[in-house]
Amino acid sequence: MTGTLAARWLVEYARRPLNLVLLIAVPVIFVTLSAGALADFADILGGPADIGEVEAATAGWAAAVLAGVAGFFHVSTSREADHRLAVAGAGARRVVASRMVSTLILAAAAAVGALVALAVRADAAVTPRVIAVTLLFAVIYAGVGVTVGALVRSEMNGSLIVVFLWVFDVFFGPAMRSTAAVLRLLPLHFPTLIITDVASSHAGSPGDLGWSLAWATITMSAAAVSLTITTRPRHQSVRHAAPTLRRMTAGLIAAGRQLRRMPAMWVLIVGLPVLFISAAIATTPNEPTPVELVENGRRSLRILSMADVHGATMVPITVGFLASLIGLFVILDSAQADRRLALSRYRTTEIVTVRLAVIAAASLTATAVAIAVTALSFDAVNWPVFVIANILVALTYATIGVIVGPLFGRLGGLYLLLVLPFVDIGLAQNAMFDAAPPAWGRYLPAHAAVRVMMDSAFTTTFDETGSLTLALAWLATLGALAVAVFRRTSTVGSSASR
């Protein structure tokens, strides 16, 4: 029966073909576009592994985040259905076993996609060791995702926990020269050492492989126990007040209640910029790096401090990613309330104004925190323009989140937003990787705003008027599209309810 249920769960997952496509496509895109850049970045930071070995690690990193997200949504979206099935006679153990089996199959699919991309990019990197450890990456984070999915009811809070644990796991792992002893507690620490062929010298008698297998056992055991506890039949009938609490009485008061139910979002909005930017600046060597800038109308290469460049670029990277997820989850979490408001006396313009105001407020909070953290160790030449440029990045990606959410759903939208800000701001516009953006990077949403940011950070004259105009045009166009998508989805929902 376990095998039958597992097959049924996979069929259920495949009802949205986009999810299957993205499960394979996202690691392919991640490995293809980021392997070289992340390897160079690790080399700049003085990581202990060879560039080729770090490229191989990108397959494991991609498989891990996809498996974690897939495991989370595979469990969180079926919590009540699994409980009813257990009550109906299937039993919690069988339901849990089937969920674990189907999650492992999804994790294996993510690992295969990452390995295929790695093989296309660099045949020599795909060794039996790389294949085995990449699968281990996926299993570890599949367990993390299922555990969080079983224990955290909010889809936004839970998915953010999985994604940001992965962010710290990768960018403060051993491949990036992170040496603090506390970082050895991260799930991917020892697997990363194995895949990059670096001996830890601190693994003790179990060895790096032993600790990696232990992590896989711990996360999968925690997933099974957590899922069993939340799936088994409850002996007392309890009426939950959540649906009543989620009824929004009116406009901004309702929006405030919605945000208070997202404590993890606020912790991450404040905590992620503080930890991520501070650690990034602290670990960046103060060495010279070339950057293309325009000053007094003349475009030229200037040699700047790598620590300063990293301090400046970390702000748009952080706020772009955070704002996109804020837009995605706020718009989806309020969908039912918005449809009820659409049936009442509220106009669509009033509803969308409230939602966009909430998203903008959260995005601007993340931007303010990120800039404040950066200001502790970096001094922009023109702070007002620097702030405006980063606000443009935040609002642009917040509107992208609003657009992606209704069109692709939670899982598909999160997959896309794991890739787009990373490729756009983290790779194409990042002066740490290349002095000037690649030709294709000029067509991405954050290009113009980041050019304004770099100009304000390092030049005494403002020469990016054209980029500022283009950034405002991007925001206006995406904002109009976000409103159109919102109006369409809220109208369809209210019509269907009549």
Give pLDDT tens digits for 6-44.
566 566 655 565 666 666 677 777 777 776 677 666 666
Q: What is the DSSP string of 155-202?
A: HHHHHHHHHHHHHHHHHTSGGGT---GGGGGSTTHHHHHHHTT---S-
| Distances in whole angstroms, Cα of residue 160 to Cα of each of 72, 74, 145, 265 | 10, 15, 11, 7
Please say if the pLDDT value at position 495 is more than 50. Answer: no
* Beta-strand runs (E) in 297-437: 298-305
pLDDT computed for residue 176 by the predictor: 77
pLDDT computed for residue 94 by the predictor: 81
In this structure, are residues 304 and 292 in contact, taking their beta carbons and an 8 Å threshold?
no
Residue where the block lists tokens 């179990």: 206
Interior angle at CA 11, CA 9 and CA 16, nearest 5 = 110
Phi, psi of 287 (to 5 degrees): -115, 160
pTM of the shown model? 0.72
Distance CA 270, CA 220 (A): 30
Distance CA 12, CA 463 (A): 53
78 or 145, greater pLDDT? 145
Q: What is the mean pLDDT of residues 453-458?
A: 94
Mean pLDDT of the chain: 80
pLDDT computed for residue 372 by the predictor: 92
